[in-house]
Structures are given as C-alpha cells and as structure tokens.
Structure 1
Amino acid sequence: MGVAFFLGFIILLIIAGLMLISLIIGIILLIAGNIKKKKYQSKGENKKNPKIMIGIGTIMTAMPIIIVIIFCVLGGLASLEENRREKYFLANAVTNEDYGLLKQFLEGGVPADSNDYKLIGGNFVSDEGYATPLWLACGAGNYDMVKLLLEYGADPDREGPNRSTPVEQAISDGHYDILELLLSKGADPNYRNYAGNVYLVSACRTGDVKAVELLLKYGADPDVTDSDGVKLLEYEDTIYKYIPEYNTPPADEKDCLAIIDLLKEYGAEK
C-alpha cells in the first residue's frame, strides 16, 4: 500500500512537471512567435516561421489546461459515483440490519437521508429514488437503527415510496415503540399527506387504538378534519360503519369506542 502510494505520487509529480514545462515552452514560443511576426510585418515580409511557432506555442500552452479540465471532470464523476455507492450501501446496511456498517457510514459523513436508490421488487435501483434509510428501518421495525439515524439528523417526516412517511410505516406495521420514538424526535403528529389526510384520521379509520393514543399524546389535533373537511367525531353516530369500511377484517367495536373516548378525552368536539 505504501509503495503503491509512493509510486503514484512520483508519477503525478512527473506528469505535473511535464505539464509545467509544456506550459512554459508554449508561452515562450507564443511570445517569440509574436515578436518575430511583428518584426517581419514591419519589414513587409510574410514568413511561415512565426506562424508555426505561434501554432506550436498555442498547442503546448493549451494542452496542460485541457488535461487539468479532463482530470477535474473525471474526478467529479468519480466523486459522484462514490457518493451514489455510499448511499446505496447506507440503505443496504439497513436492509441487512448491519448496525455497525450503518454507523460507520454515518460517522464517515454520509447524510442520514440519502435516498438515491429506489426500492423495486426488493432491489435497489439507481434512480431519483424514494427509499430513505429511515423509511426502510421503520418498515423493518429496527428500533436501534431508527434511533441511530434520527441521532444523525434523519427527517422523520420525509416521504418514501408511494409518498408514505416513516411514521406511516411504523403505524401500518404496528411498530409502536418506533412510532413513539419518531414522535418524540420531532415527527409532526399533524402531518397532512398528499391525499389530504393526517395520521390520526388514518389511525381512527383502521381502529388502531394504540396509534391514536400515541398521536394524541404527542400533540395530534383531536379536531383535525379528514380530506373531506369532516371532523372525526362527526362520524361518532356511524363510526361502527365508518371504520370497518377501511378495514379487513373490520375494527372491533370495543376499539371504536376506545377511540371515541380518547378523542373526547383530548378535547375533540363535534
């Protein structure tokens, strides 16, 4: 490793030296060529020598600049590719539940919300992407990874596949410990999704008592309206019909009553 680095460094020095020599010779030829050209022009002569010198000087001057530009472009592309790989491996670390690798990448400066890869059929496909590491960790129910990602600044409200959020992932999969962690770390309990609904509406519709309780505990508005502008308690008289419509199997009547009681306890009004 040390020998390879040393040889690489020597080669770079040689290349840099040759480029510098080329640049100096090119500038000298340009100056000399222009001096001769003016001299011949003052005498009314038209000789090719100055033009050749100027041409060679131009090429030798431009060559190092072009090489530097090429190296910069190649270096930039390599950096982008490396960044994409890091993002891929960050997501890969989550799906493989490799806590140590995830921590290594985060400590190395990879953004916690890196999502350059789309999850398709269980595989990561390079794209504008949707699946953030936090979204994946919430879906997997990995509390420790969720906690780690949040500590490194992952956004608990950032949308993932199908425009769902980590909170929705936690609720839909019944990971209530993760749901509480997300809410305690700043997830917006009143976040309204693309369909116009908030978490509390969805949790009420599915008869998810525990999710409703946690959302209300962390500041969800009990008087929030659904996408049709209707408050939740306006469905109280028909809530047993309303909730099962969204649930298979239907929500238990006991859960429906518990949700109504929770909403009233936190100040919901019709």
Structure 2
Amino acid sequence: MSTTSTSEASQLANSLNEFSWELYGHIGKDPSHDLFFSPYSIMAALTMTFAGASGNTAKQMSQVLRINEFIGNDVHSAFQELNDLILSPNALFTLKSANRLYVQKDYTFLESFLKTTKVHYQAMLMPIDFKSDAENARTEINSWVSEQTNNKIKDLIAPGVLDSLTVLVLFNAIYFKGNWLSQFNPKRTSFQPFHASSGESIPVVMMYQIGYFDYFEDKQLKCQVLSLPYVGNTLRMVIILPHPSINLTNLESKINMQVITSLGKRSRKQKVHVSFPRSNWNRVLI
C-alpha cells in the first residue's frame, strides 16, 4: 500500500469519526430507545450515493460527510483502501461488509456511477421490478440482507416502504462476530439492577468478571471509561459509563471525538470488577 493511499485512508477515517459523532447527536436524541448502529455502513452507503451527485447536492453531501478536502474520485479510492484495512481476512474473528444496488430494471444509470460503485465498493448492480411487484422486491432484498448478516437481520425493510415509484435502493450490510479476549464465565451471570438514564432501576441479566483492562476515571467529566478487547486484540468495545450523579444526556453534551480520543489515551491497565448487561439490539432506522 502506498504512503499516499494510506494517508488518504487515515484522513477518511478521521472524517468517519467526525461524521459518526455528528450522526449520533441526531439519531440518539430519543432517550426512550436503545440505539445500535454502524456509522461505517451508513457512510459507505452515502459515499456511494455521493458518486452520483453533482452541483449543490454534492457540495452539501461532502460537508455532511466531512469529505470536502478530497478531490474527484480520491474519496472513493480512500474508501476502498479503508475497506481493505478494516476488512482484511482474520481467523480470530469475522468482520465482513457487502454492498449492493437494486435498481428498477428498465431504468438507466450513468456508466461512470456504476463503474465507481463496482470498482471501489464492490457493489453489484441487481435489476429488480419495483414498478410491477414492490412486495416481491422487498422480499428479495430482505433475503439478501439476511444472508449477508448470517440471519441476524431478517426483515430490514418493512411492508409499504417500497412502492411502484421506487427506482434505486442502495444497501450496505455489515456483520461482525468475535469472542471476548477475557471471557465472561456463564456461571457468574445473574440478575442485577441496571440504572437507566431516566433514573429507573431495572433488573437485567448481568455478566460479571474480574480482570485487567484499560480503564480510566475522569473526575471532571464524571465518567468511567473501560475497554474490552476481542480475541486478536485488534478490535475492542469501549464503554463510557456516567457517574450516578449525572445523567447520560448531560455527559453526551460534553463529549466529542477529541474528548473520546483523549479518554482512550489516558486509559491504563488496571484490575477492574466488570458487570455488563447481556443484551440484544434490534431497531431499524430508515
């Protein structure tokens, strides 16, 4: 990989981080729902869409995606490089991403757009008939998403979302499966109180272990930061827990990507008692 391309991938990673936090600020406003989403997937889909944009639309999209500094197809080349870095084969965990364009079978797209999505995003073009049978198209698309996510997402598109006027549906599906580097013992799993941001205490199934993890407590922000690595020590889950004296919304208002980066750098390996809720996330954002 050339120095130039690596630099562009790094620059795009910074753009992705900024976009991620900005996106979270918009879709995470509803405190009545848990939220689980992949900014990487969303940015991949939008950057593919950006390949077909021009004029004021392209200008606004580049501002939202934080890719103003890229010229021409540089952003698409950078995304390809970033994909290669993130999705490189690894026997210790499974992380894969798939892109696909479903288009109305009698609709014509610019060859340059189709070439960009195929070369840089490996997005297959699939002709489909929204006009005559939108429900069958919905079933076919949901089947593909289910296959790409090992049946974890089975009904992404709800009935009525697609209709005879649909021309293009662009998808990015991402799938991850990994094991904790430090395993939780199932025998130590029990019901424990979970303190929601509303102040309510809810009994939930908690996993528990004692181990040495990267940990930091920020007295000023009043939060604890814990990093739980997966096998391979390449990927990790970072948990930010507010102090009982402040609610989650208050903490979120003080945090940005610079703060998160700083918290990570100040974390040190310490002996930590970890109680973590065993949970499933299932929410669709369209």
What is the TM-score with the length of structure 2 in the denominator? 0.22
| Higher strand fraction (1 or 2) | 2
| Higher helix fraction (1 or 2) | 1
Higher relative contact order (CA 8 A, sep 6+): 2
Q: Which has the larger radius of gyration?
A: 1
